[in-house]
Structure formats: C-alpha cells, structure tokens
C-alpha cells in the first residue's frame, strides 16, 4: 500500500532517526517502520513521541546534529506541527516527511483532500504530489537527495485511502544502488561539542532579511536540482520523474491541469475525449514547491483553454493550484483563459466521467465567469 511505500522509501534511504505520532490514515507507515527498527532490519532510532509537534521538534534536533531523519503525518497532525515546519526551514534541516492528504476537522473526516498540505505551502518545505505507490517510494529517495544538497525540508504527499491504503505492485530498488545514489548525509554546520555554535540566535532586522533571501534562493535552485536528480534517478533505476508530467500535450488545443491521484483518472478521461476527436491534453503538477512557473508557462502558452482541477480550496479565494497557475501566466503576452474547478473535497469520488463532464461544461464557456466552478456539489 502507499503507506508502506513510504516506509520502504525511508528504509532504503537509511533514515537514522524516525520520530512519528500515529494518525489515520498514516498509521501503517509508522507501524511498519517500528517493526523494521525493532527487528534491526532498519538501523534507526525510533522515538515514540507524544505529539506531532514533538515529532518535528525532535527531528529538527537530530537533523541539526547531522543524521538522516524521517516522519509521516496527516491533516490534524500536520497542523499541530505547523510551528515546527517553519522552524525546520529556518534551521535548514533536510527532513523528509510523508504526508497523507486528509480533510481537516471539524467535522471529522478521514478522506482525502489537499487542504492540509497546501495550508503549509508558505512554510518553506518543498512539496511533491505523488500519483502512484511506485512514485511515492522513488520520491522519498529523490527527496533526500534534493533536500540534503540544499538543506531544505521536503514532503512527499499522497492521497488518503486512494493511495495510502491501495495496494499496487512496486519495484523495490536494490539497496546497493540506493546507497550509491544516496550517500550518507554530511552536514557542514552541525551540533558538535568539539565545534560549538549557537543555532538560531536573536537576529535583528539588519540581518534577518538576508537569511530569508537565502532560503528563497535555495528553493529556486531546487527547481534545477529536482530535474537533475530526476535524470540521475532514471539512469540508475530506469524510471523518470520531473517537476511536471505531460500527457498528450504536444498537439493539444486545451489542457486539463491537476495533481495527485486525480491525474490517473484524468488521463483516462483524456483518452476517452481523444477517442471522440477532442484535442485535449493533461498536465500533472508533481513538484508544487518550488512552483515550476517557467515550465508551466512554456506548456500553457500554446493552448487555447486551460482547466485546473483542484481537490482543495483556499477559502475566500479559489482553488489553490488554480491561483498559482493563473499567477504564473498573468504577465505572459498570450495567456489562454484559465478555468478553476473545485471538486472531490472531503474524499468525494472524482471519476473519469466527472472529468469528461467538467471538460464538456467548460469548453462551451468563452471565459471564466467566476473563480470557482463547483463540480459534484449536491445543490
């Protein structure tokens, strides 16, 4: 299952300190890692913390000493560690975390929605939305490589139940190859009694600005790094992942844009539409932070219409991927009209038929009348 793909990703990456608190639907990640640590299959220390806030705090400490760290969480847990997510970025700790997209309470829900991870989009964590279990496992290994080269934390995100609890066949990379691809973590400025420093001391306005600039610069470098690491990974393991993934876009007149598990469904919808002669393509945004604006501009500028499907909502505004895609296109000379669709919140199923209907509704509109087109709402 997707959860286990995360566990195996952490195991193959030889995570050294794992600190996690259970939350549905992440529990299987930590349970499997617990078993692996207990049996010695994974030589790591597993700190059974009493809250997610403590999970992230302990990993920030461990990572600052210079060891590889891993955790996983979801919705409420992710929100509980929000303060420490900012801390992980400021402390420049390359922690890798699996996040299972689950809807926020109240009311209680365990089903999928992307608001939990997207609420953290400004924390300085790199964010990657996976569409199948193979990608989950591979992305954990890639995430360590990118994170440790830039000292920025990263989260590998997958949908609750649709991916976390769905079993798919996954090719397990060989440990020796992973070791070659991902050498042990070396940290330059670390907690070391032989070389004492104070970490995170009070910084006045005269120098804080520059430290923030450095984080942004690292994020910008990450755009290149993800592609580099993607190429290296392909050479080593035969599977290619980029910042985005295109499907039948080369001759497309209109484009559907989405992320995560909606992607697989959207590709089916694209195939169906193509069969009826429609020239539509699909763009999957895989790496959301840093946002691959330039790549998106290149792809979107050659189509006549864009439909962004969001399984999330920025209350008071609109779907979040829609906002970011629109912003990326704003200053372009020839930007197509961009339509934002919000669907599937709280785990409501999004089927191929739904996506085909979305396309057929939107294609009749000349330009968007509002920022949100609701799909599948019972009103």
Partner 1 sequence: MEGSKDMKLKIPEEEIMGCGNLACQGCGATLAMRHTLKALGRNTVIVLPACCWSVIDGPFPHSLVNVPLFHTAFAAGPSTASGIKAALEIQGKDTNVVAWTGDGGTYDIGLGTLSGAAERNDDMIYVCYDNEAYMNTGIQRSSSTPLKAWTTTTPVESPKENPKKDIISIMAAHRIPYIATASIAYPEDMIEKFKKAKDIKGMRFVLVFSPCPTGWKYAPQLTVKLARLAVQSRIFPLVEIENGIKWKLTKEIARPSPVADYLKPQGRFKHLNSKDIAEIEQNVEADWNRLLQKIEK
Partner 2 sequence: MAKKSDKKIIFKKEKEMPPFAISFYSMEYNKTGIWRNFRPVIDYDKCTFCLICWKFCPEAAIKLKKTKVKGREKLQPVIDYEYCKGCGICWEECLTKAIDIEEESD
Give me the residues that bind partner 2 (CB under 8 A), please. 90-92, 151, 188-189, 196-201, 203-204, 206-207, 210-211, 213-214
Q: What tokens does 11 get? A: 């195991």
Strands 244-247 and 338-343, how do they pair? unpaired
67 binds partner 1 (CB under 8 A): yes
- Applying CB under 8 A, the span of 47-55, 136-144, 220-228, 332-340 interacting with partner 1 comes to 47-55
Site for partner 1 in 220-259 (CB under 8 A): none
183 binds partner 1 (CB under 8 A): no
Q: Does 60 bind partner 1 (CB under 8 A)?
A: yes
Question: Quick one: 91 or 363, whose CB is closer to partner 2?
Answer: 91
Judged by CB under 8 A, which stretch of 132-140, 201-209, 344-352, 357-365 contacts partner 1?
Answer: 201-209
Distance between CA atoms of residues 45 and 17, nearest Å: 5
The kind and range of the H/E element at 23 are none
Nearest to partner 1 of 110, 191 (CB atom)? 191
Q: Smallest distance, Å, CB 94 to partner 2? A: 12
CB nearer to partner 2: give 208 or 374: 208
Residue 138, CA distances (Å) to 12, 27, 101 in order: 10, 20, 18
Considering beta carbons, is residue 92 or 375 the nearer one to partner 2? Answer: 92
Own/partner contacts of 35-44, CB < 8 Å, gap of 24 or more, are: 36/7, 36/11, 41/11, 42/10, 42/11, 42/14, 42/15, 43/14, 43/16, 44/14, 44/15, 44/16, 44/17, 44/18
- Tell me the closest approach of the beta carbon of residue 293 to partner 2, in angstroms: 23
Q: How many CB atoms lie within 10 A of CB 154?
A: 26
Site membership for partner 1, residue 193 (CB under 8 A)? yes
Give me the DSSP letters along 59-102.
HHHHHHHT--EEEEEEHHHHHHTHHHHHHHHHTT---EEEEEE-
Q: Does 203 bind partner 1 (CB under 8 A)?
A: yes
192 vs 349 by CB, closer to partner 1 = 192
Query: Nearest-CA neighbor of 91 among 218, 220, 222, 182?
Result: 218
Residue closer to partner 2 by CB (options 216, 301) is 216
Distance (Å, rounded) from C-alpha 123 to C-alpha 125?
Answer: 6
| Residue ranges that bind partner 1, judged by CB under 8 A | 16-17, 19, 45, 47-51, 53-55, 57-67, 69, 83-84, 87, 191-193, 195-204, 207
């Amino acid at each position: 299952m997707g959860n286990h793909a995360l566990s195996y990703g952490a195991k193959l990456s030889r995570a050294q300190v794992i600190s996690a608190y259970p939350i549905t639907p992440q529990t299987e990640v930590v349970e499997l890692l617990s078993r692996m640590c207990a049996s010695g299959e994974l030589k790591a220390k597993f700190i059974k913390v009493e809250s997610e806030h403590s999970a992230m705090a302990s990993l920030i400490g461990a990572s600052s000493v210079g060891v590889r760290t891993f955790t996983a969480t979801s919705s409420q847990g992710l929100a509980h560690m929000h303060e420490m997510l900012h801390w992980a970025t400021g402390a420049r700790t390359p922690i890798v975390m699996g996040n299972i997209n689950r809807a926020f309470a109240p009311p209680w829900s365990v089903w999928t929605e992307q608001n939990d991870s997207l609420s953290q989009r400004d924390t300085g964590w790199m964010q990657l939305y996976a569409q199948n279990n193979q990608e989950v496992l591979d992305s954990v290994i890639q995430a360590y490589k990118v994170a440790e080269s830039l000292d920025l934390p990263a989260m590998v995100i997958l949908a609750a139940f649709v991916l976390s609890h769905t079993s798919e066949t996954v090719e397990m990379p060989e440990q020796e190859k992973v070791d070659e691809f991902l050498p042990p973590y070396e940290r330059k400025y670390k907690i070391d009694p032989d070389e004492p420093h104070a970490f995170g001391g009070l910084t006045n306005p005269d120098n804080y600005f520059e430290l923030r600039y450095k984080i942004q610069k690292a994020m910008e470098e990450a755009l290149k790094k993800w592609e580099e690491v993607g190429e290296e990974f392909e050479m080593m393991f035969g599977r290619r992942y980029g910042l985005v993934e295109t499907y039948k876009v080369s001759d497309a007149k209109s484009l559907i844009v989405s992320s995560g598990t909606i992607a697989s469904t959207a590709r089916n919808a694209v195939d169906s539409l193509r069969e009826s002669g429609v020239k539509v393509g699909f763009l999957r945004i895989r790496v959301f932070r840093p946002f691959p604006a330039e790549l998106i501009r290149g792809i979107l500028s050659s189509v006549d219409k864009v439909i962004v499907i969001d399984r999330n909502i920025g209350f008071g505004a609109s779907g979040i991927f829609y906002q970011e895609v629109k912003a990326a296109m704003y200053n372009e000379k020839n930007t197509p009209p961009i339509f934002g669709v919000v669907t599937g919140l709280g785990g409501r199923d999004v089927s191929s038929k739904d996506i085909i209907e979305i396309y057929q509704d939107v294609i009749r509109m000349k330009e968007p009348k509002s920022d949100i087109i609701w799909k599948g709402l019972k009103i």
